[in-house]
Structures are given as C-alpha cells and as structure tokens.
Chain A
Amino acid sequence: MSGAVDMRPSNEPTPPNEPKPSTEPKPAPNQAENSDQVKHNVLRRFLRHKLAVTGFVLLALLVLLAVFAPYVAPHDPNFVDPVSMDDSPSRLHPFGLDTVGRDVLSRVIVASRISLSVGVVAVGIYVIIGSVLGSLAGYFGGVLDVLLTRVCDTVLSFPQIVLIIVIVGVIGPSIWNIMVVLGLLGWPQIFRIVRGQFLSLREQDFVQAGRAMGARDGRLIFRHVLPNSMGPILVAATFGTASAILTEAALSYLGLGVQPPQASWGNLLIQAQSITVIEQQPWLWVPPGMLIFVSVLAINFVGDGLRDALDPRLKL
C-alpha cells in the first residue's frame, strides 16, 4: 500500500540531500522573515506526506461530521421506535436499530461529537501540562526537577485505570468528568518523555553551543530544545488521543462511560460484547468500530506527517 505514496527519494534513514552542518542553530539575523519561511517549509513538507494529507482530510471530514451531526443525522438519535421489532438494516434505517429501538446511523453520527472531543480535550489538557512541566524540569534540573519528578511519580504510582474508576465513582460518570480526569492523570507520560528527551539533549553539542554563545534559557528551550522534543510529544499525543478514545470505550464497557441517552463510539461498540451480535448483527458494531479505527488512523498519520514536517533537522 505504500508504493504510491513513496515520495521520498530514498530508503536511507537520512535523506542524502540533508544539507545542514552540525552547528546549524545559529541565531538568524532576520527573525521575522526566518520564521515565516519556517512555517512555509513545515507546510510544504507536510503536504508532501501523502498519508498525512489523507489523514488530515479524513480527520477534517470527521470533524465536519461531528460539528454538523444534528443536521446530518437522518433521525432523532434518541427516538425509540415503539413499533418496529425488526432491528436489521432497512431503507429507513441503513444501519438498523439498536436493542432499545433507536436508529444506529444517527447515533453513530451524533456519537462522533463525544468521541472526538474526549480525545482532543483530554490530550490537549495533558500535553500542555506535561510539556510545560517536563521542559522546566528537564532543562533547569536541580530542585525544580526533583520536586516535579516527585509530583509526577505520585500521580504515576496510582494504577491509572483504577484511579479513573474511583474518581468517576466519586464525581459520577459524565463525559466532561471523564475528559478532565483523563487530562489531569495523563500528563506524567508527556512529562517523562519530554524530560527524558531533555536529559539526553541537554548535553548535546548544539545546545551547549547555544548556551556558550550566550543564548537565554527560554530562547534555548523554545527555539532549539522543544522542537527537538516535538517528535516524541506528537507521537505521544497522537497515541494519547487514540488511547483516550479507547479509554472511554473501556469505561463504557465497565458501565462508566457517557450518560445515557448520549452515545459515544465506544459506548456503541460495547454492543459487540455478545457473540451473537458479532456474528449476526455486524451493522451494530462495524460502523462505530470502523469510525474509531479510521479516526485513530487519521490522527496518527497526521501526527506522523507533522513530526516529519516539524523536525528541525530537516529544516530549510
């Protein structure tokens, strides 16, 4: 499946046209012009990554679907059909009816709002917390590092799913609660990756060089070190988004997902707990399953493309 999208000239790990010498991060004389150019290059490289573009288009479509869900859905997703006992797909209900008697297609469409926002909001919260704290700890080291690492260790020392279940037990299951809990508990992952990256980058030549040349700390972090960590953060964030969507599904399986009659893809997929449904009623689980899969795939390809595009080593 890759031949067609293979737009790179070589299979070599480093592109042969890689131009930069090792002392690359010299302060550029013209800041504004340079940053515009960087943005332009990032965009150009991203657009060359066909899988990423495909992913982006898919994702955009899903987001559009989510935004306009109420207008797209053919039926009221919560309307219980009191008459029809036949659940199988029909012209009126292309994906059939669920066990309660509601239109599955409409529910799947409306569920996209919930599922996508769980992923985005939760990961958004923890990427911000994790990157900021991780950068601070990894770059400055010392007391700050020790302190933040302790906090991180404490959060990490809980069995995550257990803590989520307990917190949800206290504050009650609702989609907002789940987003916030996932966001507040997920940051150590980013924190440790960023900090780990810093530990190895801090000693590297170009950072040392920058420091020796009198670059200010904040500048160093944001101009040179953070972009270097961007790859792992992005990969983590994409996987994080995926896993937040899946965690919501897992919580649904345990009965702690969204509040009914709301639907999320995970919540719709738990219909597939039954062997009979898997075997005889694919219309109940294939659509939400495919949407989870496609959205995760799309998010990951976008992350992949961004990663390549943002890589400072490939800059210019």
Chain B
Amino acid sequence: MLKYLLKRVLIALPVILGVTIIMYTMISLMPGDIVDLMVEPNLSQQAKDQRRHELGLDRPVPIQYARWLGRSVQGDLGYSFVNSQPVSKRIGQRVGPTLLLSLTALGIAYLVAIPVGVVSATKQYSVWDYGSSVLALVGVSIPGFFLGIGLIYIFALKLHVLPVSGMRSLGVETTVDLIRHLVMPAVVLSVGTMGAVTRYTRSSMLDVVRQDYIRTARAKGVKERGVVYKHALRNALLPVITLLGLQLPNLLAGAIITESVFNWPGMGRLVIEAISNRDYPVLMGTSLLTAVMVVAGGLLTDVLYSAADPRIRFS
C-alpha cells in the first residue's frame, strides 16, 4: 500500500510539471501585461522597459518559466505583481475562507444528496422519486449568480434574517456570525453539486439493485433494508466517489462566481483578479496548488474505491 502510494506520487510529478508548463505558456500567450495596466500611462517607454526588466517580463518565456520553477522548488512562489506581497502569503490568506466555504457546501450537498438519491432509487417512480428528481434538476439548472442575488434579495433585503455579503460582520468575531454569513454562499455553492450527486446516486443505485448479487441476497431472504443499505449502497457509491474526486480541484478556485456575488474573501476572487491584472506569479501559485490538491484527490479517490470495492486491489 505504502509502496503504491509512493509510486503514485512519483507518477504525479510529471503531471504537475506538465500542468505548470501548460499554464505558464497559456498565461504568457494572453495579450497585455501588468506594466501597461498598472503603471502610470504618462510613463516613458524607457521607464516601462525598466519596469518590465525588474519583473523579468523581458526574458523569453522558457527562461521565465525555468526561473519560476527553480524558485518554486525551493518554496519561493515569488511576489504578486499587483501588491508586491509574497504569493504564498496572498494565497495563505484566502485558502482558509475558501476551504471553509467549499467544504461546507460539499458537506451539505453530500449529506442531503446521498440519502435522497438512495430513497429515490429504492422508491423509483414514487412521489418521492419525482419530487426529488425535479428538485435536483431545479438545483442544477439555476445559474449560481442568479440564485445568489435572489437569495440576497429574499433573505437579506426582504426578511432581514441574513447579512447581504462578506464573511464576518465588521469587528465581530463570533462563530454564530460566521455561520450566518456562510449560509447563503454555501447553499448556493452546494445546490448544483447536490442535484448532480442525487442523480448519480439514484442512477447508480438503480444499476446496482438490478445486479445478480442483489437478487441473490434478496432470494436468500435478506431483508429489504439490509439489501439496500448493506449490499447495494456501497457498490452504488463507486461512481459517486468518482464524482467526489472530480470536484476536488474546484474546492480551491471553483467558487469564483459565488465568491464574487457574496464578497467571500476566497481564492476564486484572487484568481479572477490575477487573470485580469496579468498577475502571473499569483496565477501560477494557485495553479500549482490546485494541481497538487488534485493529485492528492486522485489518490484519495483510489483509496476510497478500494475501500468500497474490495475487488479493486493496488498493484
């Protein structure tokens, strides 16, 4: 097992390298740079060239990349072009709020979706099934920004029960306050996932309950509850786990829209600003971090797979 994990990590390195190379290339291909965007327009060409030289933007892209890689390997992700702060610090400030939001949303989504999906499947074509299907579909078919603004309108402006946006009330540091701010963005972010997971669970359960071993279990006289929860569910979870693995990269930068609407101080907004400001170091830093997380997520998915399906063995 340990050997397998080690092997996987080694295999992952070229993937991460590939990701950073592609990302750096893509970023460099984007027209425009920070000097034209940020520096005073009246500056002479000479002064602009000087600034580009200081930022290393006058070198060929492969060399820029190599320098970035060399520093990153040593743990130095460089400085943001926009505010000159260390990239690691800028990312560090935002990882916490982002994970809080996205993990809460993921938690809500799975906690609601798996039971609903199971009940939907076991009671196929019942009121339950149709009801939850329709709700799941409503969930996935509402654009996030629209749902977000709609919720703000209802809960903050009309009912006055939740704050409009942000992560905390000014100067207030309580958990209750944090949760009040968290509710709407987490719900908005979870709704899409919830719909998808419900459908996957249902679909997967339906596939599984028709398999032979389930019929066998039933024939052997195992009670219906037992059939569903002991035998079927864990096999049905395989595609659901795949889905979970797929959602991991989005934990960090997937909430761009939700974070923008609710002014959540997370990575998504950082990334968006970095793209529009051509802030390469920040963009590369977040890409690297995401790539590492995804590789870790892939490992986790495999481990969960093997836990759910003992027939899958590591080799």
Contact = CB atoms under 8 A, between A and B. Distances in A.
Given A153-B12, A235-B203, A162 B143 contact: no
A279 B156 CA distance: 14
A contact patch SS: helix
A223 B204 CA distance: 20
Interface in B6-46: 11-12, 14-16, 18-19, 22-23, 26-27, 29-31
B249 A239 contact: no
Interface in A196-254: 196-197, 199-200, 203-205, 228, 231-232, 235, 239, 242-243, 246, 249-250, 253-254
Interface stretch (B62-70, B169-177, B287-295): B287-295
A262 B126 CA distance: 43
Interface stretch (A31-39, A77-85, A120-128, A288-296): A288-296
A17 interface: no
B206 A231 contact: yes
A175 B244 CA distance: 30
B contact patch SS: helix
B4 interface: no
A2 B126 contact: yes
B238 A200 contact: yes
Interface in A269-314: 269-270, 272-273, 275, 278-279, 285, 289, 292-293, 296-297, 300, 304, 307, 311, 313-314
A26 B229 CA distance: 31
Nearest to A278: B153
Given A253-B145, A293-B138, A162 B210 contact: no
Contact of B130 (A1, A197, A231, A269): A1
Given A2-B129, A158-B19, A196 B275 contact: no
B257 A253 contact: yes
A161 interface: yes
A253 B14 CA distance: 35
Given A13-B209, A170-B30, A2 B286 contact: no
Q: How large is the interface on B (under 10, 10 to 19, 20 to 34, 35 or more residues)?
A: 35 or more
B298 interface: yes
B131 A2 contact: yes
A150 interface: yes
Interface of A: 1-3, 5-8, 11-14, 18, 22, 51, 146, 150, 153-154, 156-163, 165-167, 169-170, 188-189, 192-193, 196-197, 199-200, 203-205, 228, 231-232, 235, 239, 242-243, 246, 249-250, 253-254, 266, 269-270, 272-273, 275, 278-279, 285, 289, 292-293, 296-297, 300, 304, 307, 311, 313-314
